[in-house]
Amino acid sequence: MRILIVAATPFEIAPLIQHLEQEPFQQVQPSLFRKGGHEVQLLVTGVGIALTTYHLTRVLAKQSFDLVLNGGIAGSFRRSLKMGAVVQVQSEQFGDLGVEEADGSFTDIFSMGLLDPNFSPFEQGKLIQPLTEPIPGLQSVSGLTVHRVHGYPASIEACIRRYEVDIETMESAAVFMCCLLSAAPFLAIRSISNYVEARNREAWDIPLAIDQLNQTLITMIDSILE
């Protein structure tokens, strides 16, 4: 079994890295760990769509994996998702790929007719997780990936009206696209660090989100590699 762990930053998966640095894992390279006949490779891409696309594409062009596992934190549009909740992303959209109109509204490239909404790997303008079996204990959510996270109430309300999504990230759609185009099996796991509201970093709980995310990642990897 070969697993590729993809994260935007090292601090989001720091507890997982510490876990992999201990027995029964053997570190054979700075980002490569072995357990028996299994391998776990780490890829820290940097924040955002462009860096994630570039670095993940390079790796997938040279190597094959039984599973690509994307982990990170996310903002939630839904108050029903508690802080620290770990969720499985089953669909993704690019949230700011289009034009801003003269009245301040937004039109995406599909509505403009610049791209067929079913142009591979899109399905009705969305990127869909092909693995149909949900991860036990994790709620399935839809995601929106943006270059600029929302923090202004008026733009948040407009975004909620435009898209039916649950969470917001800066990388997940890039992972979906790269893996779908490369035919690489993948899962995307996110934990809620904040609500998408008027920007207020004091209300975020990143330590809780990271702790819960890594507990889930460690449990998943140990279970897969038993």
d(CA 65, CA 41): 9
Domains of the chain (ranges, CATH numbers): 2-224 (3.40.50.1580)
Would the pTM of this model clear 0.85, i.e. be above it?
Answer: yes
Q: What is the pLDDT of residues 56-99, one digit of tens each?
A: 999 999 999 999 999 999 999 999 999 999 999 999 999 999 99
- Strand ranges (E), the chain: 2-7, 26-29, 32-35, 38-44, 67-76, 86-94, 98-100, 106-108, 127-128, 139-145, 167-169, 186-195
Q: What is the pLDDT of residues 187-217, one digit of tens each?
A: 999 999 999 999 999 999 999 999 999 999 9
How many residues make up the chain in this entry?
Answer: 226
